[in-house]
A and B are shown apart, each in its own frame.
Chain A
Amino acid sequence: MKKITKATYLKWYEDMLFWRKFEDKLAQVYIQQKVRGFLHLYNGQEAILAGALHVMDLEKDRMITAYRNHVQPIGMGVDPRRVMAELYGKKTGTSQGMGGSMHIFSKEHRFYGGHGIVGGQIPLGAGLAFADKYFKRDAVTLTFLGDGAARQGSLHETFTMAVKWNLPVVFCVENNGYAMGTSVARTSKSTEIWKLGLGYDMPCGPVDAMNPEKVAEALDEAITRARKGEGPTFLELKTYRYRGHSMSDAQKYRTKEEVAEYQKIDPITQVKDILKENKYASDKEIKAIDKRVKDLVSECEKFAEESEFPDIQTMYDVVYEQKDYPFLPHKL
């Protein structure tokens, strides 16, 4: 594994803080109704992405996830201003305003979405890996899913084939404790999700995912295995989401105390503490990072605000590759 150094910690701090503040900004502009629809925020789960990016080969590896997907593409290299613009429904957005919050994509940066149907991305992740194996490329695909998604048939069908065919994919459950208002224990007798891998003879295990180092270690092993042609791994990344499922969630299913417990082991605080303990950064340097983050978030907002809405014709142009497809009229 690439060594975890002072530079890693500094990067982790800046990246994670930026993701957190980016999401906070979205919550704010959502209340102002500049961003609409559903809005699922990543706050609390940042260590997963930080750890993953440290061990991925960003020149070739791939990533796919569900609808809680604003910051992963940014981590993969997508311009955050374009992600913000997508949520504003602007033509400068990653999908020209077609996808919105749940559907961020970047072919250039090998980020394959952004999927709104729970579990829908699981076979797709295996399929991306199928093509890499087929064409003898040594890329690995990280396929993320929620604890709720682990109960979809798509996971079980995909696992059978992914193991049998030795696909270079890592399946990562981000177990944040809840699927909307449903705790893991309430709809499943088995609460240790990683054990699902056992039934498929897939290497599997739990990971403390509030800590990016732990995530990096576990993922490094899994990615190495996949790259060597030894097939998939199933990891249960134990994490927590601080905000509601989406913006309209009254959160009656959990206590404030529970949220506070997790905030004590907040990934960003953990990393910041290490920066301080090891004197990796002075207070002044940390302040400078905080300011950079704040400025970049403002820049994203400004870019999104000032961008234009797409032309009506775009709605048709993006559906088919065929240029002159004869769409039916729908009104006079």
Chain B
Amino acid sequence: MRIRILVDGKSFGVKQGDNLLHACLSNGLDLPYFCWHPLLGSVGSCRQCAVKSYDSEDDQEGRMVMACMESATQGCRISIDDPEAVRFRAQVIEWLMVNHPHDCAVCDEGGECHLQDMTVMTGHDHRRYRFTKSTHRNQDLGPFINHEMNRCITCYRCVRFYRDYAGGEDLNAFGAHDRMYFGRQSDGTLESPFSGNLVEVCPTGVFTDKTFKAHYTRKWDLQTSPSVCVHCSLGCNTLLGERYGEVRRVLNRYNADVNGYLLCDRGRFGYDFVNSEQRIREPHGRQAGAAAGEDLDQEAVLERCASLLKTDNSLVGIGSPRASLEANFALRELVGADHFYSGISAQEYELEGAVLKALREGPVRTPSLREVESADAVLLLGEDPTDSAPMLALALRQSVRQQPLREAMKAGIPQWHDSAVRGMIQDRKGPLFVATPVATALDDIATEALRAAPDDVARLGLAVAHVIDPQAPAVGGLAAAAQALAKRIAAALLSAERPLVVSGTACGSTVVIQAAAAVATALSVARAQTEVDPPLLFLTLSECNSLGLALLNPKPLAQLLKSGGKGVGGTAVVLENDLFRRAPAEQVDALLEGRSLVVLDHVPHATTERAHLVLPAATFAESSGTLVNNEGRAQQFHAALAPAAAIRPSWSWLRGAHAAARPLEAPPVSLEDLRNACAAATPELAEVWTPAATAEQTQTLRYAEEKVPRASFRASGRTAMHAHLNVHEPSPPADADSALAFTMEGFSSPDGQLIPSYWAPGWNSVQALNKFQSEIGGEQRGGDPGVRLIEPRAAGPSCYPDAAPAAYAARDGEWLVLALPRIFGGEELSNGSPALQERTPEARLVLHAEDGRALGLEDGDEVEVSAPGCSLRLPVTLLDDAVPGVAMLPLGIPGKGYLALPLRASIRRAPA
């Protein structure tokens, strides 16, 4: 409910029950704070947000209160400007600054520091303290985070985020009074996969981005753009920062529905592949039969394209789940829908099919990550999202708080009152049931965690569905314990307000995905006649544009390979894809044999090596485009820098090649035209990508014909940047693909999806975000980026499989080998980033400890894994918390190529 409060005599509308600090900030008022954070709530410890509060109209005195600790009530009267409150706040900052070093000039936080901003805001500009300051020894916290403890102001945000919010255990507060220390028990890598958020959560320069430090630039000198993470299917929103042609860092870009204030460490530190020495920077041609090739200039390239593509009227095109929707569409246009193939493996195609079916035909809605956080009972089937879709794991960590939180709210404790809420709910957690083949990082918060082979996970899921809705297939021969567990899960889901089922493609099992969809369907049947909220179904996919590619209805790659490419033309065009990761080498070889191969990509791999023409494609950082995340949310990313001369976005290469080969058929188009054409040809897009909507992305209509500058107005050195080459300042690169410009000039207060960085007068830190939200923690002004493309069908056909799979039976001497996703080392692009490489553990096969003992193995011993078409040698990790007869093989082992997981293999100790 909205109420009104009086602040310094002016009336403001606020949400009843919000704390006063939140209310003031939501109304755009400047009130300094430290310990409060919109995600973490209030603890009232720093005393920085003090205001005067008056009991009544007649109260002239007032009393000092902490704004973050008081609820806004109808008609309440406070003052920020009261001289005593002003003095009090200046004093607070003075004592917070007592031990603070005077090192802003050499501090990475300098110029985007909340402490600087608040110090200026309170007017404290003179240090009276004349004694020694306490100093600390810094720790080596690994490749991601730099530590500089002397700058700490003891606000406790770091530990409240790391421990309370993200469930990390290896960071803590040590000592007492002015010897407080925030760090690890001893030097060592911060283990939480969300550690990078400390960079933004800490209001000072204690925790800063170590990868950024390696090529540091002040915030105001970075050229920044709104982007989307390309390292998993969730599509978290990011801000990319560039200087001198290099991507320098990734920061969170707020999206209330997707990633909120946070990112995972893969997303934050995986960017460096863009700057890699390995990048393909020149077009490269190789005549058929020749071993080596040559670099080509633009004209020669297009000629070569034309000759390769023209001669052939049935080209074959292979798309990519990590290329933009526009690039995939441009390829489909070039080769024709009949010859457009999906660039994913046969297994993946089937898994995606199961997910798409659930999304498109099922009656259950896919929630956003924000909605996942507010689910109050969860069933997780098959995979550990910490490794496959990290931010989902963080959202699930919040969902287990929902039920206990309700108790706290019933007791009259406002949700923002963090210490009181935590004090009341203690260790209590709402229901989260986990059923996976191997231990997960969420087991610590799980109500019950079951270890089972995928088929048995699916059987459990279907048993739950059957308990909820007898129409779902019965599961024969289920053990009593599993049956009882199914009943407990069903009861928890049925009694919840917002039950959620989570699964995805990472577990490699379509039956598990079907089972997850079945549970969600059963819940929606059971709840159909009631008033309660419908259930939710969250399914992860493998790559950043898996769903976008699928929406273009590509044919399965396996079909093409099986036929050895019979009936398709003599030239294959491969878009941002290494086919040798997607299919057995013999099959790919057979396809490529005797064909001309054109490959567009930014990093070299086995497929580019075979190409007759390699076109250097722009990465996400140098191009604009659209990705569709697992939720079916189409989101635009915008280039942070213009690509180097010979590099072009894939869609532009493809259109250029198309025009060169068949000029009449493919006149030159803009990205906007291409989007409109794509929308017209794609049912899911037609309604949301109206010409008006696409025009907003690329044109300047929105802000009085002005573009939005990517550089800040105080960017320095623009005239000197290229002076070593030419003293004449070049004109800035044009950007026809977005409504942003590579300049300092233009419309500098954008909203919605075009915000290139957060800054407002007096607010230089990331917390300037406050000024861009319609309400703190709510939507951004101008709307949050992205549009949802897929909504559930009103009364869909039931999504039940015909029957339950048989229980998994381990055979003697044979193991079911499953893919094990890994947050670091398990994704193709981020694997090219040095900081992530440092965090990538040795690839080891995970075996159940008993199986290991039977083979006479100890942890770390080498084994041989053999199956038809597969022979691997690697060390083992033995785990009790796994399934006998099931082995887990890490994804993305470099040089290992394609493996048709899951597969059945024999495993034995490797001969010495």
* A and B assemble together: no
Chain B residues in contact with chain A, CB under 8 A?
none
Chain A residues in contact with chain B, CB under 8 A?
none
